Chain A
Amino acid sequence: MVQAVLKATSSLDSHRHARMEVLKEKVEEEEAAEREEAAERAERGEKTKRPMEVRREETTMTQEMLRDLERKLSEIEVSVPEKLLAFTKDTIDTSKLPLSYQSNTLKEEHLLQVADNFSRQYSHLCPDRVPLFLHPLNECEVPKFVSTTIRPTLMPYPELYNWDTCAQFISDFLSMVPLPDPLKPPLYLYSSTTVLKYQKGNCFDFSTLLCSMLIGAGYDAYCVNGYGSQDLCHMDLTREVCPLTMKPKESVKEEEKAPPKKYAIKPPRDLTSRFEQEQEMKRQEAIKAEEENRRKQEEARLLEQENAKTDPLHGLRVHSWVLVLSGKREVPESFFIDPFTARSYSTQDDHFLGIESLWNHKNYWVNMQDCWNCCKDLVFDLGDPVRWEYLLLGTDKPFLSLTEEEDEGMNDDDDVENLGKEDEDKSFDMPPSWVEQIEISPEAFETRCPNGKKVIQYKRAKLEKWAPYLNNNGLVCRLTTYEDLELHSYKSMQPEMDRVMEFYETARVDGLIKREETPKTMTEHYQGRPDFLSYRHVNFGPRMKKLALNSAESNPRPMVKITERFFRNPAKPADEDVAERVFLIAEERIQLRYHCRSDHITANKREFLRRTEVDSKGNKIIMTPDMCISFEVEPMEHTKKLLYQYEAMMKLKNEEKLSRHQAWESELEVLEILKLREEEEEAHTLTISIYDTKRNEKSKEYREAMERVLHEEHLRQVEAQLDYLAPFLAQLPPGEKLTRWQAVRLKDECLNDFKQRLIDKANLIQARFEKETQELQKKQQWYQENQVTLTPEDEDLYLSYCSQAMFRIRILEQRLSRHKELAPLKYLALEEKLYKDPRLVELLKVFV
């Protein structure tokens, strides 16, 4: 229960974290109680060493007693949390499992005895260590030695050949179930076949399966029983950064600065005071340092917030993972794989707090090194008996790093135990695995995750995976990243919202590249237009209130301001080429800014007031000098003319209309695109690869048709190879050459025979036909006679018989006529064939 709740709290969406805080506190109270209890138990295990003492006393324990103890132990299992109950023998049909699952062979029994002996010696020598994880029960309640549970298997899928993809598959394929007691190894260790079938398991199940597959793929892999951090044991990735969000660091290439040219101008003389600069620098630095400090503190605070409070059970949580030693499969350095997350860790990683023992399919080693500094100081030289105590002698691990003197010296020290063990172990090998062949069906392999779906929580990110074709929109992977802990505004498909659309400008007549929208503005970027427009920004005002529907189509929002920018038009002089024009529609003003000439730093500007005014006499004022305020870098004669300004203004008025219209059209286009997108998103079909033989119906049909054609072809060939002459040749004495006379006879006989067969067949059909007809007539007669007395059922029966009989008769008729048609043709065909037969051709030629 504790684990389940912990998992729930730790896997919360980070932005919901705050809301769940209350719940978590409640949970924590319960948890605290549980924890105390667990800690107590742990203490008992460690300090009072009760189990070991028990074992030491029972050095003469018999097999029966052992069984008894095991039964007792299995009774304890009743207290296993509910969640695990879903995966106990209740749901596993043990009766169908093979014999090797349900009993032990003699060799296995022997091994168990050896293991018990080893365990006794071990607890005697190391009384303060926890009992070894040697032979847990399997799904049939039979104790099985852990090494025999590993079944090295090479999977037929190339994806599973390398450790990373293999581990990833297992982590995706199985659901994680926490250990019943986080401080102890489990009492049960199921076979990998069962684990695969139910697609769930604890860390020992995970690592056993992974180890089986890795050893099968040629890695030097070992299952490890040890202690892991809380995050590791709970498969909690919420404090890890999602690997998908980590971007590869861009290598910033500094462009090589061209060497200063001969006549490059010298930088202006620096006239500022050096002293003042220094003072200023000092001040700046102080400020910076302070800021840095604050930032650091803030960061630390955040980090602390993010990191959970220290785990009270730190170092006591049992975990199982996989160790891959260097050497085989070109692995350069030994490393750990956490089977839950499929992540690889160095053997020095902080998450791994200690190792009790490790095993592969051949042997079992107990760690004799001190784990005070986690796994950082461990040496994985399994051939070193001082550091690693082995169970069976027949190991292929050579004594690697020990010199001979040391070897001897060491051996002297451990003489007592080694000698005794060697005596009985020498002739003993690890029995073969009791587990059935591990198999994963292609469907299951493709579906990957249980039910095809898996969700992983990372630090500020959520990764969801789906099996291919599970979602009808083709979604297979979704990564949601959270910027912060706040709620997000989601970008919707509603018009007039924040949105950016990008276009292929070459495919569009208007050269639009990008359109950005906010609720009040619309910005468009263009490229390659004949009018050199590069940018249009429209500000919208609040919509006029109308009774009609408030859609952009029926009631467009009024435009307040349109800003347009233009690229330089090389055909025009710069001071006549407009760079920016602003239509202030509400203020009835038009502002123009021209391009800057290459030798100038200021540009022409012009502002038109297009308000029509009326003079004192009521006449319309056409144009006055103050209606056009202009600044010209190089004043020109003709632009001062009112006529020029008037014409320019008239032109601008038209262009304003045009721009407004274009903006309106853009709005309409947005609506249309959104509509289209919605339609598209609703209706999509997945294109299936032609190599996907299962799903591609068309190719399947085609393939089946091809197979059929092939089959028919084959039949035909067989027929073609039929030797018509064989039965007749057999009548002749073997080995002799045919005479002409014989050949002619042979031919005639063969033809006659065929003719006879054709006639027989015709007769047969005829006979059947007649028989059918007679029967039908009889029946009809019978019907006519008894018509009055017949029940409706009988009548129905009669009618259906009639129709069937008529059908049969018709078919026979057809067959007969067809036979009559084809028989002469077939006869001729055979005759021709015989004439061409290589055995007869020479002899018959003369006659023809």
Chain B
Amino acid sequence: MGAGPNETFKVPPPASGPERGRMNRLYDMEPRVMDDDMLKLAVGEQGPREEAGQLAKQEGILFKDVVSLQLDFQNILRIDNLWQFESLQKLQLDNNIIEKIEGLENLTRLVWLDLSFNNIEAIEGLDTLVNLEDLSLFNNRISKIDSLDALVKLQVLSLGNNHIGNMMNIIYLRRFKALRTLSLSGNPVAEDEDYKMFICAYLPDLVYLDFRRLDDHMKELAEMKHQYSIDELKHRENLMQARLEDEQARREELEEHKAAFVEQLNGTFLFDSMYAEDVEGSKLSHLPGVGELLEAYKDKFVIICLNIFEYGLKQQEKRKAELDTFMECVQEAIQENQEQGKLKIAKFEEKHLLSLNAIREESELSSIETKIVEYSEDITELFNVLMTLEMQLVEQLEETINMFERNIIDLVGLFVENVQSLMAQCRDLENHHHEKLLEIAINILEKIVKGEMDEDLPDDVRSLFVDKDTIVNAVGASHDIHLLKIDNREDELVTRVNSWCTHLLDKIHKDEIMRNRKRVKEINQYVDHVQSELDSLECGDLLD
């Protein structure tokens, strides 16, 4: 896409306010609404010409088929009623009195958008226009460049005659890798003596600025001038990029773990979460001897968690391989079946062409009839063959799917069973720890009761050692919380893996049913078509 700034091709816009007012007055003083009539008129006027135009008039043009629409000098105040224009690629709304960009959400195929000579104050409402390449906002009241993030394909941006005053706006444009043409003249920024240099330096891929080609010499100069700040900027950008990538990688890893249903089991997360809400537990950990106990407990617990994690990943691999093989086999079977079907149809078509011609050329009525009968028999035969093929495939696939279902359910069952046994180990550890803790607690209680307690305990901890019931309850509460956490994690895993399995199987069954229906429909349609061809021939013959 070359540099073709929109403005250059346009009717010279009214230069100043009063003139423009006069012009508007010539058409219509009142702001107009974009209603159906206006759109229809425009579509009709801008539609095909001559012979095609006659046809278009005869048939009417649907808004959703319109590719290009021109609505300039219409005194439009508000963009509206454009939701039907799904295939619109070029939209001209210049020289109106639009104040806000809106109502363009549905025009996702838009490539060319002209909103110049309006009264727009902020860039907005363009988030869905991902295909936009050329955007003109010339002569508006915009003071800040932003909200253009979605326009990844942007090549031409025209923002001349606006109120942009801050040079930092230009740095925002660095994210548009395809941007080659920019116009900013007539803005306060353009009056800065460093304006051109700055843009050259910060947008090195730019080719045209304010309708002039940027020469290489200028670019070099600019680069030298702003080298330090740009290097710094680049460094920051790189850092940002790296961080984003890191985050992305982490997220992907987590997704992977989630798919294996063992996310966050590769560390102390579960253990930590057990103590996160456990007030008593953290209090008790200050008791002498408990610290070491806790450490040992944690280590063992984490090891088991890791076991679960690794096992989960392995199982996920297995399930994936199983699913892949299954899919591959099913695809192969379908492909082969389709090939057979295609072959049959090709053979039929070959014959069909001959027999149609023969019927056409045949002059004797009786032989025509025999041929027609013969031909319709062929059609029935084809139908039967194709249907048989399809039924055969359905049967074969059903069998295969059932086999896969059994296997995957077995796999999931095994996985759940093993995870449960590992979780039971966790529970055992917890029980063991609980007993130990209780023992220590009671010992300490005894000591306190006896007054033999040497060490100082924090007040809130000491408050637990009022009597035996209190301490036993506290330890018990902690234990209960831990068990609950473990149970929850286990339940979550089991539920999720089971639901994954059911969903998968559901989808496979549904897909197969859909496929079958589509194929049957296709066959019927084809046979109907062939039959209707024959019928039309018959009619023609009878008429002859």
Please report A residues at the B interface, Cβ cutoff 8 Å: 261-266, 268, 596, 599-602, 622-623, 629, 631, 633, 638, 641-643, 646-647, 650
Residues of chain B with a CB closer than 8 A to A641's CB: 59, 65
Instruction: List 5 other contacts, CB 8 Å, given A599-B515, A643-B59.
Output: A263-B326, A265-B393, A265-B397, A265-B399, A268-B392
0 or 1 for each of B389-410: is its CB under 8 Å from A? (1 = yes): 0001101110110011000000
- CB pair A602–B345 under 8 Å, yes or no, is yes
- B342 CB within 8 Å of chain A: yes
Contact B55 A601 (CB under 8 A): no
Q: Is the CB of B58 within 8 A of A263?
A: no
Q: Which residues of B contact A602 (CB under 8 A)?
A: 345, 522-523, 525-526
Q: Mark B367-408, 1 if CB is under 8 A from A, else 0.
A: 000000000000000000010000011011101100110000
Evaluate whether A599 and B518 lie within 8 angstroms (CB atoms) in the complex, with A643-B48, A646-B51 already known: yes
Please give the number of chain B residues whose Cβ is less than 8 angstroms from any Cβ of chain A in the complex: 41
A631 lies within 8 A of B55 (CB): no
What is the interface of chain B mostly: helix, strand, loop, or mixed? helix
Min distance, Cβ A680 to any Cβ of chain B, angstroms: 43
Residue contact A638 to B65, C-beta cutoff 8 Å: yes
Asked if B404 and A263 make an inter-chain contact with CB atoms under 8 angstroms apart, the answer reads: yes
- Chain A residues within 8 Å of B523, by CB: 601-602
A25 to B358, CA, bound (A): 55
Give 6 nearest A-B pairs by CB, closest first.
Answer: A263-B329, A601-B341, A265-B396, A265-B333, A631-B529, A602-B526
Set of chain B residues within 8 Å of A600, measured between Cβ atoms: 338, 522
CA distance A465 to B196 in the complex (A): 82
CB distance from A411 to the nearest CB of B (A): 82
Residue of B nearest to A263 (CB): B329
What distance in Å separates the Cβ of B338 from its nearest Cβ neighbour in chain A?
Answer: 5
- Is B443 an interface position by the 8 A CB rule? no
With the chains together, A344 CA to B90 CA distance in Å?
A: 85
Q: Whose C-beta in chain B lies nearest to the C-beta of A601?
A: B341
B56 & A643 in contact (Cβ 8 Å cutoff)? yes
Given the interface pairs A265-B400, A268-B392, A602-B522, the reply to whether A643 lies near B329 with Cβ below 8 Å is: no
B-side contacts of A596, CB under 8 Å:
342
* CB neighbours of A629 from chain B (8 A): 533
9-52 of chain B: CB within 8 A of chain A: 48, 51-52
Pull 26 A–B residue pairs with CB atoms less than 8 Å apart, ordered by A: A262-B325, A262-B329, A263-B330, A263-B400, A265-B397, A599-B515, A600-B338, A601-B345, A601-B522, A602-B345, A602-B525, A622-B54, A622-B55, A631-B526, A631-B529, A633-B526, A638-B65, A641-B65, A642-B55, A642-B58, A643-B52, A643-B55, A643-B59, A646-B51, A646-B52, A650-B52
B519 within 8 A of A: yes
Q: Distance in Å from the Cβ of A457 to the closest Cβ of chain B?
A: 46
A residues in contact with B396, CB < 8 Å: 265-266, 268
Residues of A near B518 (CB, < 8 A) are 599
B525 near A601: Cβ-Cβ < 8 Å? no
B541 at the A interface (CB under 8 A) = no
The answer to whether A263 touches B403 (Cβ under 8 A) is yes
Contact A642 B51 (CB under 8 A): no
CB distance from B399 to the nearest CB of A (A): 7
> What chain A residues lie within 8 Å of B48 (beta carbons)?
643
Interface pair A601/B519, CB less than 8 Å apart? yes
Within 8 Å by CB of A264, from B332, B341, B522, lies B332
What distance in Å separates the Cβ of A547 from its nearest Cβ neighbour in chain B?
A: 35
- Nearest-neighbour CB distance to chain B for A535, whole angstroms, equals 16
Q: Is B328 an interface residue (CB 8 A)?
A: yes
B325 touches A261 (CB 8 A): yes
Residues on A with beta carbons closer than 8 Å to the beta carbon of B330: 263
**Given A268-B396, A601-B341, A631-B526, does the pair A261, B328 have CB atoms closer than 8 Å?**
yes
Contacting residues, chain B, for A262 (C-beta < 8 A): 325-326, 329
Chain A, residue nearest B386 (CB): A601
Residue of A nearest to B341 (CB): A601
Q: Quick one: which of A263, A268, A602 has the most chain B CB within 10 A?
A: A263
Within 8 Å CB of A263, what residues of B? Answer: 325-326, 328-330, 400, 403-404
Contact with A along B508-544 (1 / 0, CB 8 A): 0000000100110011011001000100000000000
Shortest distance between the CB of A430 and any CB in chain B (Å)? 80
Closest B residue to A264 by beta carbon equals: B329
A832 to B460, CA, bound (A): 123
CA distance A262 to B404 in the complex (A): 9
Given contacts A262-B329, A642-B55, A646-B51, contact A601 B342 (CB under 8 A): yes
Is the beta-carbon distance between A633 and B52 smaller than 8 angstroms? no
Task: Say yes or no: B55 contacts A646, CB within 8 Å.
Answer: yes
How far does the Cβ of A584 sit from chain B's closest Cβ, in whole Å? Answer: 12
A628 → chain B closest CB, angstroms: 12
- Which B residue sits closest to A593, measured CB to CB? B349
* Chain B residues closer than 8 Å to A646, beta-carbon distance: 51-52, 55
